[in-house]
Structure 1
Amino acid sequence: MGWAEQMREAEHRLEEGDLDEAIDRFGAALREGDLQSAGVDQETDIRRSLARLHKTRDDYPKARAALDTALSRLRSHPRAVRAEALVLVDLASLQREWGYNIEAERTLSRVPAGSGSLDDEVLAALHVERGIVRKDLGRLSDARGDLEEGLRLARRARLTGLAGHARTGLGLLAVLLNDLEGAERHYRAARRAYRSIPDAENESIIWHNLGVLYDKQDRPADALRCYRKALEMDAALGSEVGVAENLSATASLLQARGRAADARALHLRALELYTGVEHKQGAVTALVNLAIVARQSGEPVEEHLRAALRLAEEVGNPRDVADVRFVWGDCHLVDGRTDDAFAHYLEAARAQSGMRSMLSEREALSYFDESRGDEVLDRLVRLSADAGDTRRALMCAEAAKGRELIRRLAGAPGPDGTDRRLRSPDPELALFTADEGAWFEQVTALLQHHGSGGRPCHLVEFHLAEKTAVVFVLTAHDTEPIAVPVSTDRALLRDVTRRWAGNGAVRGDRREEWLQLTVPLLEPLADRIPPGERIVLVPHDALHRVPLHAVPLQGTPLGIRNPVTYAPSITVLEHIRQRAHHTGDALVIDTSGHSGDLVFASEQALSVTETLTGAGHRVTALPAANTARRPPGRREVLGALRSVDGPRILHIAGHGRFDPQDPMRSGIPLGERSLTARDLAELRLRCELVTVGTCESGVVDRHPGDELLGLARALVIAGADALLLSLWEVDQLSTGMLLRHFYGAWLTDGEPKAQALRTAQRALRDSTAHDARRYAQTARERSMIDPHAVAAIKLAEAKVCLAARDHTAAHALAADADGSHTLSDSERLDAERVQRMARLGSLDESEPDYDRRLYDDMRHWAAFVLVGLGG
């Protein structure tokens, strides 16, 4: 029987499921004397088939030997580039599946991908395998690129199995990035591909992966169903690794439901199978799970975790190292060994930092969810504070804030978009290894720099954990920060901020709920920071959406009691302080087009220009005065921002739009396109202040790792020293009044920016209907060239009169505005409503009250915040 007959018989045996006989027949084919006449490609195919069967049998040494022999034989055939590439890909796959990821990547680097002699099949296999290896090594950005390219090539070559492999890898990647819907979509597509071939071995993998996915979604019945299906298929295939993975996953489900004895038995069996086939990564998972069961049962864990750590370090995946260290730290914490627990948590944080350094910014924002990042730092903060080491506690709290933003600020040179690879020194790791004394000296020096006019500056930083917030207070006179634990409920606070954030209206029961959650957070400041002295607030987690300056302290809102600025972190402030200085010019951009509901945005731009010019600034206006009534386009605005050499002041008037689905697409509408946060982040500004006088310009979306996405982040990256932004949609007339007071106090009276904002907020809070009407009349005079603007401002003035109960004036102004025939449909309906209310109100014969305060509610005066340097 020749080699060809042996091959046919092997394939027949394989179809019947007789793997042992198939292996024997492939071996016999290699021993046939006529094989040399078939050529090296045919011999290589036989050895690759033999290796795949040994791998199915979990016989790593024999599979490896078959591939090594194939490579050795190919050395004498330098033209067999394609055959060699396929063997190298197979070898890398084998190494990866047994946990040798670093070796797998080195193997793949030997494939001559750029030689031009490889077809789509080989290139697709290379990209898919390299993508999965890089995923396992934690380099998720590179992995995505490889897997997507592999899928494209597989589709083009109609390689169903390879397309399934690419989909599987993309699904695993999506799970790591917390995109569970995307993961399920990829898995289902992969399962369809494998069924159509058919490929039971890889279909079983998909069943397992779906089980993991459903477990994450808290669907235990569905997860168990998938694990059982995968277990049946792997048992039929004789795959010990597959059986072990499904046993371990099933055990974790039982463990979560209190069935510790059953879980231990399954984990032990899984460990036995993994160890038998030298599958290190699987053994790490089994050992960690056994340690968790042991801890819950009060048994020793050291042996399990020491073995797990040794294997995790051999495999080279920092995620596994971090997981082992975290569990080990928890075990020591339960035993009361806090010093040992701290040491393991610190190593877990360092491992996560190493992981972060291998990701792009966007991938890191998605990858580091609360369970992977914040829990470690929560424990480090708590343990340090409990031990009285408040400096170390503050350092750990600081490490929990905006690490990717800091990475961007520390990177060199300018950014090329939010997907760029970040290779700058890791700021989180720098904090963990920094000398406490030297770091604390930098913080106190920063506060001294922020103080001005002989007035001290104080730091208040928050760290929000599950049931406790730690409030750090460092006054200008302290030699050590204090750390005050405050009982709270992080989940409830997150829920409350989601429900009411964005409109500034907090009334009735919601106001009581809001006060109960927020007032205790400021109580540690009462006896430590006197009224009138500046405070830098560094929020954390849900507190980024809370207007802390509006929270009462001893009966007075904090922002009225003290000048307040916000910062993403102390480290961000230090980066801002070290940047290049700005020039004396100003740029004012009116994005409204002088029409619709943005009339006051145009008036705001005119008023700001007038104030800036009066203070001696050279102002560039866009669009120029007396130009066509249209908003400038995106290209025009970007051109102006790039051409002006570092304006000291940038003021943007118009609408803002926050996109919760993609916060970096938030921005300012400009006709058909918007000026987005991504656009702004790519600029190189050198502004002392950027004001975005629009609704929701300061709204941010918090991502894991306390990353803030939105306009604020983009402008800090672009080079702004300070930002004046709004947290919610605001009344345009009151916004104009607040900004007029702010610029006047800052530029004319010489107050620091933080104090100027406090002055403006107090002035607006105390403003009467008389003040508002006088401002509207002045605005109308500035807008006389635009009939629609005049009519719209008259309508706003009519509302002020209505609030002052001057029904006669309100009716007259609204009727006059309506009769101008320049109002939009919505404005005309508004004018008719004001007229009706004025007619009804005229039945009340009480006198008008122009001394009535219109803007004393926080939704008016507290909408704007100052972020960054406040001097």
Structure 2
Amino acid sequence: MDDLIAELIDLPEAEWPGWLTTHASRLSLETVARLKQRSDQFIKSDSARADRISRAAIAVAEQLPTEPIARALAYWARGNWAVYRRPEEAVDLYQKALVVYEQIGDSEAIARLSSNLILACTTLGRFADALTFAERAQRLLEEIAAGPVIYRVKFGMNYGLLLYECGRYQEALDVNEKMIALARNHGLQEELAELQVNQAFTLAAMGRLAECERLLIDSRQRLEQLTPKPVLTIARIDLNLGDYYSATANLSAALNHFRDASKGFQEENVAMDYATVLLYEANLLKRLGALREARRAYDRAYQAFREDNLTQYAAQALLAGAAVRREINPADPELPEMLNRACDMFTNLQLPIWRNETLLEQARLALLFGNYAQAESLLTTAWSEDADTVLHLAIDHQLLWGRLRMAQGDEAGALTAFTSALTQSQNGAQIWSEREALVALGNLLAARQPDSAIQYLQDAVRIDELMRAELSVAELTADFQSRRNDALPLLAKLEWQAGHFQTALQTVWRWKGGALIDLIRRHDGYTDVNPTIAQLQQRIAVLRWELERKQRDEESEERLDELRRQIRDLEAQAYHERRYHIHKPGQSDASIYNWQTVLSKLDADCLIEYVSIDNELYAWCLTRNGDCTITTLGSTSTISELLQRLELKNLNALRLNDEQRQQRGETLIRDARVLLQRLYRTLIEPLPIPVEGKLLIAPCAPIHLAPFAALWNGNNYLMERYLIEQIPTGALLGIPVPAGPSGPALVIGASADGMLAAVQREINAIAGILADAEVYLDDPAALTALHNLTTAPRILHFSAHTTFDEEPTIFAGLHLADRTFTIEECYRLNLAGTELVTLNGCTTAYGMESGGALIAFQSAFLIAGAQRLLVSLWPIKDEPAAGLMARFYQNLMQTQSPAVALRQTQRDLLHDPALAHPAIWSAFAVMRR
């Protein structure tokens, strides 16, 4: 029999009819029973195989017209496969099988099929039918109490899920607990894991969110140990973990689990779930600021939905992908056609709300290119008034209408539209829409009524800061700074134009340092926890998790809208609670950004705070004696061009070997100095700074990688006259550096299996200089040592190549011995007491612009508690880098100051003909907290 079944399964399906005719005499009820057994075995570990076997069972049963049970068994097998993929079909198949078993009075089969129907009907939201089947299954299982335990466990699993969906949480909890104990006692590992997942949902609904993660992770670990591995069930748990982490704002963990889930669903050929997870992944990538990765994920989701004829979801993925493309490149030639296609799809599906969402996106694009007539037509003639009942759409419509009127010079019309949007937002507790309306009013009134504009922008900033206070550390690190940075720059400019230089500088500090300082204070434990807000945040997380799952289960739009309303109301409560809390005596953080506070901590002769606003570069200078000035330095695009030309010069010099560089040394240096002098005249010469001393420089885009030490005034380099340190923003001086005990230095190097011999020499040289150092060279134990730090090392040195994609994300990192040490992991280190972290890798200073300030290494290490960093601005060859590092540490042992040691190292190299080119000696900078 087994050989016969194997032959049928392996045969191409087109040949089944002939095979069935040939072997008709050998087919029997037992053949179908064996096929069902095999199909059930592979349902969660090899979906495609179970699909094929269950269809083979039906084909065999059709050859046995005198055996009605054969067809019932085949329907049952096919229903078991369909229940996780096509629940409507599963219900039909189970009921057909049920009729046969009712005719012969097989109580056990009726109980089991009724139990299966609980799951299928619950999935479809047919709770009354599910309850009817539950009563029947329970009664029959009690009558045959001596039957296999697994039947009772599976019934309890399905019944607990039904009770949960019906909102009967305590009953669901009780049923799950009994079944968990039963499954554990009888070694039913897969069922135990699924019960724990159901229990996690129930606990979350009851507000016990903290218990959910452990249950989900434990379930996944149990299933990973099974043979064969239930890939589909693991994928569903990964999906649930992704939902959980997304709701609780652990975005990196969510993304990892969504990616694991998509692999599982793809492997099991579950098209709907695979495409849906791709959509979730794309949404998270967008939140993380990885727009190009998000675009690719949206494209994959669209293709997957389209191939499975899921038109509505395909259109949604198309629209979301178009919005991301607009952010990357509004001139993307594919954009108009994508939006037209999405609009046509929503129109044909008679989905006016989604169609209006598309019209808004088309109008945004039209406005960007000055196509005002097209934008007006989209917002009037094409607009469906039915969708105005959706508040956020109505507000977005008003905001876009206001921007159109503003672009057309109709300030009165724009004022009316923006004011209407503000009123609707405030009345509907749409906090972020309120913020957008306030910023729009600030922009509108900036020229004619600057005082009113300042007030509107201050209100918008207040919302930013209050809502940021509600974000988790994961949310702050992931996406806040890159999304909401339009109010503070304009506010700073208006304050400066009004002559309030110091106030404007404080606003600049809020802009450049707000999210970073929040993260540092959270990490250092300075931020208090308001229990009321914490409780509200947990309730919001529970509802978000539920909303994610309900959307996936195609819950009614009314139920989804109710969940969204509840989330919005709770967010408004948290916002107002935070506003009350912050304004209580002693709770304000305003002093952090006070210029006098910063001045009192300024240990330099001058702080130079660079800021880019509207393609213009400005520099605020705050001297030790309290003088505050602002200087306009010119176009950022011009400065960017200079830096790009300098980069090419540096690359040409760095490609040469020592002998070639010495032969052409003077010519190469002279060429570089031409550009370095132009940068000096732009960035330094116009500033009212002392003729020598110590400079603290806070760069901004596009000058984060500018070699300030090498700027040339015609006679000498900047570092020859000044001791230079850099800082993300002067505002960091307003918060204390965490104190803590420090231990021996920790030195970690990765030589790519010996391919980078200079790294080995560098690590050995540093180990000889730092006598007490704990050294890991190409050692996988290095990561364990990092994660298990109980005392911060006095010095933490990395020599390894960094990896950054097209856009920096928290998954970028340092290539160590066996895997990448990511930026995300840096945030979790405890470096309170670490005096210096050295990052000798390719462009480890990359990403400090406001859009990426929280996802680059130097920020991560500063947040973790490091006092200073030595970072590379661009890659140089391993040999000179290793030599520079050795000299730096020798100087550090004598001076104890990283800035002084670097300056001395640069001076040393300046007198070495092989290393005198600024591309080598100015490739590193000291960053401080």
- Range of TM-score over shorter length: 0.5 to 0.7
2:372 paired residue number: 260
1:380 paired residue number: 491
2:632 paired residue number: 485
Structure 1 distance, partners of 2:788, 2:237, is 43
User: Are residue 281 (structure 1) and residue 372 (structure 2) matched?
Assistant: no
Q: What amino acid is aligned across from residue 395 of structure 2 in structure 1?
A: V
1:864 paired residue number: 924
Task: Give the Å deviation of 1:468.
Answer: 1.4
CA deviation digits over 1:563-616, x for unaligned, max 9? 111112234445463433646x65666777998764686478547745x6xxxx
| Match for residue 351 of structure 2 among 219, 239, 247 | 239
Instruction: Give the 3 Å change call, closer, same or farther, for CA 189–692 of structure 1 in structure 2.
Output: closer
Structure 2 distance, partners of 1:181, 1:604, is 37
The question of whether the paired residues in 2 share the 8 Å contact of 1:124 and 1:162 is answered with no
Instruction: Give the 3 Å change call, closer, same or farther, for CA 88–231 of structure 1 in structure 2.
Output: farther
The question of whether the paired residues in 2 share the 8 Å contact of 1:677 and 1:711 is answered with yes
Task: Give the Å deviation of 1:401.
Answer: 2.8
| Match for residue 435 of structure 2 among 322, 327, 333 | 322
Structure 1 distance, partners of 2:357, 2:495, is 38
Q: What amino acid is aligned across from residue 516 of structure 1 in structure 2?
A: R
The question of whether the paired residues in 1 share the 8 Å contact of 2:593 and 2:731 is answered with no
The question of whether the paired residues in 1 share the 8 Å contact of 2:234 and 2:264 is answered with yes
CA deviation digits over 1:643-688, x for unaligned, max 9? 7954544556xx4312122676777666555666566554434556
**Cα RMSD after superposing both structures:** 5.7
Q: What amino acid is aligned across from residue 530 of structure 1 in structure 2?
A: V
Structure 1 distance, partners of 2:795, 2:122, is 70
Task: Give the Å deviation of 1:296.
Answer: 1.6
Structure 1 distance, partners of 2:593, 2:364, is 45
SS at match of 1:754: helix
Structure 2 distance, partners of 1:143, 1:640, is 23
Counterparts of 1:768-779 in structure 2 under 5 Å? none
Q: What amino acid is aligned across from residue 596 of structure 2 in structure 1?
A: E
Q: What amino acid is aligned across from residue 403 of structure 2 in structure 1?
A: I
The question of whether the paired residues in 1 share the 8 Å contact of 2:246 and 2:254 is answered with yes
Instruction: Give the 3 Å change call, closer, same or farther, for CA 695–542 of structure 1 in structure 2.
Output: same
Instruction: Give the 3 Å change call, closer, same or farther, for CA 173–734 of structure 1 in structure 2.
Output: closer
| Match for residue 468 of structure 1 among 588, 608, 616 | 616
Structure 2 distance, partners of 1:193, 1:383, is 49
Structure 2 distance, partners of 1:733, 1:125, is 50
SS at match of 1:544: coil
Counterparts of 1:529-544 in structure 2 under 5 Å? 529-531=690-692, 533-544=693-704
| Match for residue 323 of structure 2 among 200, 209, 212 | 212
1:660 paired residue number: 804
2:414 paired residue number: 301
Task: Give the Å deviation of 1:313.
Answer: 4.3
Task: Give the Å deviation of 1:342.
Answer: 2.4
Structure 2 distance, partners of 1:736, 1:211, is 46
Q: What amino acid is aligned across from residue 558 of structure 1 in structure 2?
A: L
Structure 1 distance, partners of 2:921, 2:645, is 21
Q: What amino acid is aligned across from residue 689 of structure 2 in structure 1?
A: R
The question of whether the paired residues in 1 share the 8 Å contact of 2:669 and 2:918 is answered with no
CA deviation digits over 1:195-228, x for unaligned, max 9? 5664544444444445434544435663333333
| Match for residue 548 of structure 1 among 708, 711, 724 | 708
Instruction: Give the 3 Å change call, closer, same or farther, for CA 185–676 of structure 1 in structure 2.
Output: closer
Gaps of 5+ in 1: 1-38, 52-66, 90-104, 416-420, 451-455, 613-618, 624-629, 769-852
Q: What amino acid is aligned across from residue 346 of structure 2 in structure 1?
A: D
Instruction: Give the 3 Å change call, closer, same or farther, for CA 312–856 of structure 1 in structure 2.
Output: same
| Match for residue 730 of structure 2 among 561, 565, 570 | 570
Structure 1 distance, partners of 2:815, 2:294, is 33
CA deviation digits over 1:335-364, x for unaligned, max 9? 422222223333333444455556566655
Counterparts of 1:345-364 in structure 2 under 5 Å? 345-353=457-465, 356-357=468-469, 364=476
Structure 2 distance, partners of 1:124, 1:632, is 34
Instruction: Give the 3 Å change call, closer, same or farther, for CA 45–244 of structure 1 in structure 2.
Output: farther
| Match for residue 448 of structure 2 among 329, 336, 353 | 336
1:723 paired residue number: 869
Q: What amino acid is aligned across from residue 620 of structure 1 in structure 2?
A: D
Instruction: Give the 3 Å change call, closer, same or farther, for CA 132–598 of structure 1 in structure 2.
Output: closer
Gaps of 5+ in 2: 1-113, 139-157, 169-200, 217-230, 527-536, 542-573, 655-667
Structure 1 distance, partners of 2:165, 2:787, is 52
Task: Give the Å deviation of 1:397.
Answer: 1.9
The question of whether the paired residues in 2 share the 8 Å contact of 1:394 and 1:472 is answered with yes
Q: What amino acid is aligned across from residue 560 of structure 1 in structure 2?
A: E
Task: Give the Å deviation of 1:522.
Answer: 0.8
| Match for residue 620 of structure 1 among 772, 778, 784 | 772
CA deviation digits over 1:363-404, x for unaligned, max 9? 55563576x434333212222222222222222222233555
1:62 paired residue number: none
Task: Give the Å deviation of 1:462.
Answer: 0.9
Task: Give the Å deviation of 1:256.
Answer: 3.5
CA deviation digits over 1:19-50, x for unaligned, max 9? xxxxxxxxxxxxxxxxxxxx9x999999999x
SS at match of 2:704: helix
2:340 paired residue number: 228
Task: Give the Å deviation of 1:291.
Answer: 0.2
User: Are residue 707 (structure 1) and residue 853 (structure 2) matched?
Assistant: yes
The question of whether the paired residues in 1 share the 8 Å contact of 2:438 and 2:457 is answered with yes
User: Are residue 754 (structure 1) and residue 887 (structure 2) matched?
Assistant: no
CA deviation digits over 1:481-502, x for unaligned, max 9? 2111211224751783597188
The TM-score, its normalising length taken from structure 2, stands at 0.59
Counterparts of 1:552-701 in structure 2 under 5 Å? 552-553=712-713, 555-575=715-735, 577-580=737-740, 582=742, 598=757, 602=761, 605-606=764-765, 609=768, 619-622=771-774, 631=777, 633-635=779-781, 639=785, 645-650=791-796, 655-661=799-805, 671-672=817-818, 681-687=827-833, 689-690=835-836, 692=838, 694=840, 696=842, 698-701=844-847
Q: What amino acid is aligned across from residue 287 of structure 1 in structure 2?
A: Q
CA deviation digits over 1:65-121, x for unaligned, max 9? xx99999x99x99998766766889xxxxxxxxxxxxxxx99x958999899xxx99
Structure 2 distance, partners of 1:203, 1:600, is 50
User: Are residue 522 (structure 1) and residue 684 (structure 2) matched?
Assistant: yes
Instruction: Give the 3 Å change call, closer, same or farther, for CA 121–284 of structure 1 in structure 2.
Output: farther
Structure 1 distance, partners of 2:864, 2:591, is 30
Structure 2 distance, partners of 1:637, 1:234, is 50
Counterparts of 1:169-180 in structure 2 under 5 Å? 169-180=280-291
CA deviation digits over 1:522-571, x for unaligned, max 9? 1244x53131x211111112222111121134743221101111112234
Q: What amino acid is aligned across from residue 474 of structure 1 in structure 2?
A: L
Identity %: 18
The question of whether the paired residues in 2 share the 8 Å contact of 1:274 and 1:282 is answered with no
Task: Give the Å deviation of 1:128.
Answer: 8.8
Structure 1 distance, partners of 2:316, 2:766, is 65
Q: What amino acid is aligned across from residue 772 of structure 2 in structure 1?
A: T
2:360 paired residue number: 248
Task: Give the Å deviation of 1:171.
Answer: 3.8
